[in-house]
Every structure is written in C-alpha cells, then in structure tokens.
Amino acid sequence: MPHYGVFITDPMVLGSDVMIVLASVGIVAALTFFRRWGWLWREWLTTVDHKKIGIMYLIAAVLMLFRGGVDAEMMRTQLALPNMNFLNAEHYDEVFTTHGTIMILFMAMPFIFALFNVVVPLQIGARDVAFPYLNAISFWLFFLAAMLLNISFVIGGSPDAGWTSYPPLSGLQFSPGPGENYYLLSLQITGIGSMATGINFLITILKMRAPGMKLMDMPLFTWSVLAACILIIFAFPALTIALALLLLDRVLGTDFFTMLHGGNPMMFINLFWIWGHPEVYIVILPAFGVFSEVISTFSRKTIFGYKSMVFALMAISIVGFLTWVHHFFVMGAGADVNTFFAIATMIIAIPTGVKVFNWLFTMYRGRIRLTMPMWWTLAFIPCFAIGGATGVMLAVAPADYQYHNSYFLIAHFHQVLIGGTVFGMFAGMYYWWPKMFGVILDSKWSKWAFWLFNIGFYVCFMPQYALGFMGMTRRIYTYSAGLGWTAPNFISTIGAYMMGVGFVFMVVDIVHSFVKGQRDLTGDPWDGRTLEWSLPSPAPHYNFATLPKITGRDVWWAVKQGELPKTDVLPDEKRLRPIHMPKNSGMPVIMGVFFFIAGVGLVFGVLPLDIIGGLGVAFAMFKRSFDYNTDYFVPVDEVVHTETALGRLQA
Amino acid sequence: MSSYADDVRGAHGTAAAHAVGSSHGDIHVDYPDRAPEYQTEDGSLKITGFWVFLGTDLILFACLFATFVILRTHTAGGPTGKELFDVRGFTEETFILLTSSFTGGLATFEMHRGKKFRVIGWLIVTALLGMAFVSLEVNEFVKYALEGATIQRSAFLSAFFTLVGTHGSHVSVGILWMISIIIQVAVKGINPITARKVFIVNLYWHFLDVVWVFLFTVVYLMGVM
C-alpha cells in the first residue's frame, strides 16, 4: 500500500516543517499584536478591486519564485560535483518536479495575471474588469492550489514524476502514495481559476474599453493580454481533461493511460502538450506586450510597426496550437507528422522575428533612457535571440532525436522562459511598480540585482548546452567523475548561485524602496504614453472619475503634447456622475478554502473531507446566487473630494 | 459612441441615470428598450461571458471525444459497444433530452412575455425531463456494470463512461441550478437579474443538447453500426 506517512523524518523536511510553523505563528502574532485582522479581511482578503488582486498575485508570484528558486539551487548544489550526496534520488525527483510545476503554474501564471489585473483596466479606461467577483474567485483558487501543492513537501510526500507527469510512471502502479494526487489536484484547481481569468479579461478587453477606443487604438500590452486570453480559453480545457483522466486512472482504476486493458499513455502526452505548448505562449506573449510598452516609452517614440505587432501576436497565438508534437518527435508518429510539426514550429520564428525587429526599429533614433525596465528589456533581446536560435535547432526533427531530453533542451527552454518571461515580468514589475505602490523602484540595488541575475544566467545555462552535446540527460540526480561533465556542471552551479544572490538583492531593493524610495507624486514618473499614466499613483479605487474620451493611440501623450484637450483624459467636473462599483465579498476566499479542503480529501482519499469541501463550494455558489445586493454607487461628493485632494479636477 | 451620455458609464459601463425611479425597484436599468436579460450592462456582459465559457466547455468535450475515438476499439477482450448498447434505450434518452430543450425554450419565450407562472411551469417541466434523462442514464450504467462492463474493464469502457458520464453530470448540475432559479423567479418575479439567469441556464441546457447530438452519433450510432 502507498506510503501515506504524515510527517517524514528526513531532517530537511523536518526543518522546513519547523520553519513553516514558526513563520505561521509569527504572522498570526504580528497581526494580533498590531490589531490588523480586521484590516486584512476588509481591505485585502475580501477585495474585488482588480488593482489589489493584482498586488496579491504579484506577492504570491514572488514568493513562489523564491520557492521554485530554492528548488533550483538545491538541484544545482547536488549536481555541482560528481557523486554528491546532498540530495538522494527520491528527494531530487521531488525537487525537480515541484521546481517545474511551481515555476510554470504558480510563478509565471500569477506573475502575468498580476500585470493583467494591475494594468489592463487602467490602459483601456475601464473602472474594473468585466467580472470583479469572478476575478477574486480566480485569485483564491490559484492561491489555495499553490498552498495545496506546497504542503505536499511536508505532509504525505511530494510528486516526483516530473512537471509533465507522464503516465505510466505517474500512474498508481509506479507512483503509489499521495504525491501525484497533489500535483493533479493543485493544477486542476488553479486551472479553473486561470480559465476564468482568461474569460474575464477577454470580455473586459472586448466590452469595457473607454468610449471611442477601437481595437486598433489599444496599447500593445492590452493586445498581448487579449492574445494570451484566447490561448488560455482554447488550451486549458485540454489540461483539465488530461489531469482528470489521469486522476480517474489513479483513484477509480480506469484504464486510459495504463499499460493494461488497452490504455494508451501517448494520449496523455498529446493532451498535456495540446495545453502545454500554447502555455509557453500564454506566459511569453504578455512579456512581449511589456517590452512594447517599455521600449516605446523609454525611446520617446511611437512603437514601430504597430499593426504588424498585432498581426504577429495573433499569428503566434494561432500557430502556437499547431506545434505540440515537437515535444515528442521520438514518439514514433512517423516522418509526415513530424515534418508538419517541425515546419509549424519553425514558422513561429517569423512573427517573433518581426516583433524583435520592430523593437529595434523603435529604439533606432529614439531618445533612449536607461531605466530599470529598459535594462531588463535590453537584456531580453540577445537572450531571447539565442534561445530562439536553439529553439529552431530543436525544431529540426532529425536533429531533435539527438537533443531529446538532454541538457541542451534544458538550456534552451530556460533561455526562453527566463530570458523572455521572467525578464519581461521583471521589466513589467519595475515599470508599473510606481502605479501599484506610488514608489519608484530604481536604486543601486536594482542595478546589482540586474547584473548578478544576468551574468549569472549565462554562467548557469551556457555550459548546459555543452553538457547536452556531451550526453548529459535531464533528470539525473548524480553522475560519476571522468565523464568530462564536472567542470561545466560546477560553472553552471556558480551561475545559479549568482542568480540567487541577484534575487536576494531584488528583495532588498523592494524593502529599501518602501523605506527610502523616491515617491511618485505625479502619477506619471516615466513620462508615459498610455492611459494608466494619466491617473495618480496608486489610482483611486474607481480608477477614472470620468471616463476618458479616446480618439486614437497614445492619447495621454497627445494630451501632454497639447494636441488634445486635457478634459479628454483628466476628470472633468461637468461630467461627474455617481460611479457604479461592486461590493467586497468574503465568499471567494471561503470558496477557495472549501476547494482546498476537497483537494486534501481527494489527495488522501478521505471521503468526509471531499463531502465537506464539495458541499461548501455548492453552498457558497447558492448563497451568492441568492444575493441581489452586490453593488453600490460612489456618490459624486466623494469623487469630488478625492479628486480635489489629488488636485486633478478640471473645471 | 457619439453622444457623451456614455460619460456616466460606471464600473460595468452602466449608466447611473436610470438608477432611481426605474420600474424594477432598486435594480438600475441601463437599456429599458431591450429584452429584460439585456437591460443591464452587467447582464449583457454576463451573457457574453457565458458564451465564451460554453466555448471552453465545448473544447473540454472535444478532448473527451478525441480520447473516446482513439480508445473505442481498445476493448481488451471485453464487451464492445455493439454488444452493450440498446437502441431503444438511447433513443428514449435522446427524445427526452431534445424535448426538454424545447420546453426550456418555451420558458425563455414566456419570460419575454412577462408570464412569471408559465416561466416557472416550463422550467419545472424541463427539470423533470432532465431528471428522467439522468435516471435512464444511471439505469443504463448500472445495467452495463452488472453485466461486467465496468469502468475498469477496458480503455474503451473507461472512455465511454467518462465521456457520457461527464455529459450526465453536466445535466445533473443543470438541474440543481435550474431549481435554484425556479425559486428565485418565484420569490423575485421577472426582473433583469432573474431574466438573465433564466436566459443563461437555458443557454447551458441547449448546449448540453448539442453535445448529446454528438454523443448520440459518435458513441451510440457508430457504436451499434
């Protein structure tokens, strides 16, 4: 029978148990001491304000970046020298599995959602997202799913079949115990939230733009979110099915992917990558959107080739669905199938190249300012170019038979995911930090973090391309001396430590900024072009006192140039009316907790917990359905008071 | 977007001007000349959002269909569809479900005419037909299981029970949902909010009918052929 031990005696696990308990006690004590429980509940846990939800996503993403990063450092420590005993094989398997899972689903996804939430409504001149209550549900499903995956490390055992969890390895026969259940359920729960976010922002962008804003007037970040939402809507159902069927195999004994009774494991792999490949575009396209905003703002130029940028986003989001088989060219599908998917994969490089050239042409003859967002953007371009080139190498199906599952592949996808998504999210974080917190994040600490992380990146991953060619495969936990792998591995580990130190500097930078950082009193610290910079930092909860009037792209820039009247975008006293807003609600977080309870019940096969969780979710839905008192009006007086205090009202 | 009356749009782009003195008590109406479910900006957004949700659900079923089509011949020496499926049984199920879609449509029709009790009546008929469908399906499943054709028997049966069962559980959820809406219409009458709910639950119900047509064809008809 599976090993369902609750507390493992492994000293590292025990240590983390103790740390978690101490941290929890500390948080509870601090909240009680400073009498902050009510504030936490009213202002944050029950909020439906997209800006606050965005900040909560950001905090969670950075925490998960830390967790996934610690996993990475542990792996690199284990691989630094041959025959290391820092981690045993089982522990190593758990660590690489949770590293991948957390980085994709609990770091990259919430990071892009943080920017969706903070930026999109402000950029399109909306007062909120289309479904604010659903937005809160999405966040809490993500957050409690992340907690569910994280407790696996201390209770019951972590998943250890890789972040892709291919059956039959991840099936009951070869992975008994609750580990894989944790993986399947936490992904399923966060997946529901992600799907809802996709729908929410699609409708927000299509239906809630300020009067006069045509699709082709939208800022490119908003366009990139639209493209990512389309991908989410079409891709996530495939993940839902892949996970559900594997869970049925494990808990109900069905035969979808077993080696007996006619099951077919390749079916899982196809379903998984029908989601998994678009997923890499889901997390990269918003980064492309960030780069477009940053380069245009800090070159003081309109983006070059706006229409081709939009076309490239859409082309990537469509062709991205036709490439999934390149993750398993060795499946044995035959030359015809492999050729189709190889060519489709290579085609993606064309619109991506269009985007990169447009960014370069935007900078050409621009008046470039080297701020932190710009540094991360500039670092992205060569990094992504190398990653793209190795990607085309991998797309060559015959050559892929050599690279498959080697460190060459590991180096490639880290190069595009870190060099693309992570750099992009950092650029976005630095760029919109003043809008979120009213503080500018740009100090010597930021620079140190940037250089350590960047140089560390190349030191870490360049040797891994070589290791791939030298025959080192992924997911091995140790190797013997004399293979020639020692030096590259050792160098790679040094690079990983540098990136770790870079991350610590970034955290110091953030803390430092709140204490001594430069306040942004203008609302427009970068001399921006798009609507979010027409608002104070942070924006009032209703965003826009009067909705802006849109007559083209970059209207805020046009207003600042004197080409349009100020009343087009700034609050206009004559047009003030009561503002319709949604009320806060505790139901989303309560629903998340019940999902969590049901998840724990399913992980361990405890029926009463499943029933409590399921009934709780149903109860929350019924309760909400019968609640007709869900919104209110902000009176004009209050708006006048707020806007006058900010000195913004135009008579 | 020519007139600047749009200025007054709120969080949901709603016009506050109608907030007071509308014919629906404290529910503010943005577009009094539209059908009730579209009279608030919020309702209209939710209907559009629900269409997109149905799109995701369609893809979910498409993945299950793909799995079924791949595995339908993987019977591992166990019973095949041809041996199991009873033409009379699945024809009855089809007839009942398609009829329920029609009665659900009648509920929407009566809602547009403002007939509260007829709306409730037709929704009850629809929910009852849905229950009849689910109970026939449960009967069918139990019968197969007693014959040894369980979900664990073969990959074909795993795919069959999961695909058909997912549809059945959607119908079951739809029934519970419909009951909650029947209560709300009974208590609150027809207003823009309840109208939107009746409209959306019917969209969902029709969608399940469409999925069933594919199930009927791909699973049952192709199964007995």
Contact assignment for A127 to B28 by CB distance below 8 Å:
no
- Which among B56, B70, B76 is the nearest to A195, CB-wise? B56
**What was the ipTM of the complex prediction?**
0.93
- Which among B19, B56, B67 is the nearest to A256, CB-wise? B67
CA dihedral A609, A614, A617, A621 (to 10 degrees): -160
Phi, psi torsion values for A228, nearest 5 degrees: -65, -35
| pLDDT above 90: residue A650 | no
Q: pLDDT (tens digit, 9 = 90+) per residue, A270-283?
A: 999 999 999 999 99
Contact assignment for A261 to B78 by CB distance below 8 Å:
yes
CA gap A17, A131 in Å, rounded? 38
Contact assignment for B19 to A274 by CB distance below 8 Å:
no
- Which among B7, B63, B184 is the nearest to A271, CB-wise? B63
CA gap A139, A144 in Å, rounded? 9
Q: Show which of residues 42-81 on chain B sit within 8 Å of chain A, judged by CB atoms.
A: 45-46, 48-49, 52-53, 55-57, 59-60, 62-64, 66-67, 70-71, 74-76, 78
pLDDT given for residue A397 in this prediction:
94
Phi, psi torsion values for A643, nearest 5 degrees: -70, -35
Q: For A275, which residue in chain B has the nearest alpha carbon?
A: B63
Q: pLDDT (tens digit, 9 = 90+) per residue, A446-487?
A: 999 999 999 999 999 999 999 999 999 999 999 999 999 999
pLDDT given for residue B54 in this prediction:
97
CA gap B224, A375 in Å, rounded? 65
Q: Where are the alpha helices (DSSP H) in A300-366?
A: 306-319, 335-347, 349-363
The CA-atom distances, in angstroms, between A41 and each of A247, A539, A586, A633, B222 are: 35, 21, 8, 22, 56
Q: For A547, which residue in chain B has the nearest alpha carbon?
A: B7
CB contact B40 to A (< 8 Å): no
- Which among A238, A262, A633 is the nearest to B71, CB-wise? A262
Q: Tokens at residue A432, please?
A: 């919109």
Percent of the residues in chain A that have a pLDDT greater than 90, as a whole number: 86
The mean pLDDT value of chain A amounts to: 93
Contact list in B for residue A264 (CB cut-off 8 A) is: 70-71, 74, 155
pLDDT band at A1 (very low <50, low <70, confident <90, very high): very low
Contact assignment for B162 to A248 by CB distance below 8 Å:
yes
Name the residue among A76, A163, A43, A544 with its Cα closest to residue B8. A544
pLDDT given for residue B17 in this prediction:
40
The answer to whether residues A95 and B10 touch, using CB atoms and an 8 Å cutoff, is: no
Q: Show which of residues 78-137 on chain B sit within 8 Å of chain A, judged by CB atoms.
A: 78
| pLDDT above 70: residue B5 | no
pLDDT given for residue A314 in this prediction:
97
Does the predicted model carry a pTM greater than 0.90? yes
Name the residue among A216, A208, A145 with its Cα closest to residue A597. A145
Q: pLDDT (tens digit, 9 = 90+) per residue, A498-544?
A: 999 999 999 999 999 988 888 999 999 999 999 999 999 999 999 99
| pLDDT above 90: residue A18 | no
pLDDT given for residue B10 in this prediction:
44
- Which among B8, B59, B158 is the nearest to A237, CB-wise? B59
Contact assignment for A580 to B162 by CB distance below 8 Å:
no
Measured on CA atoms in the order A198, A203, A208, A212, is the torsion positive or negative? positive
Q: Show which of residues 97-136 on chain A sit within 8 Å of chain B, judged by CB atoms.
A: 126-128, 130-132
Name the residue among A275, A400, A416 with its Cα closest to residue A331. A400
pLDDT given for residue A12 in this prediction:
67
The CA-atom distances, in angstroms, between A586 and each of A40, A46, A593, B11, B12 are: 12, 5, 11, 20, 21
Q: Show which of residues 185-224 on chain B sit within 8 Å of chain A, judged by CB atoms.
A: 188, 193, 197
A518, containing H or E segment: strand A518-519
Percent of the residues in chain A that have a pLDDT greater than 70, as a whole number: 97
pLDDT given for residue A392 in this prediction:
95
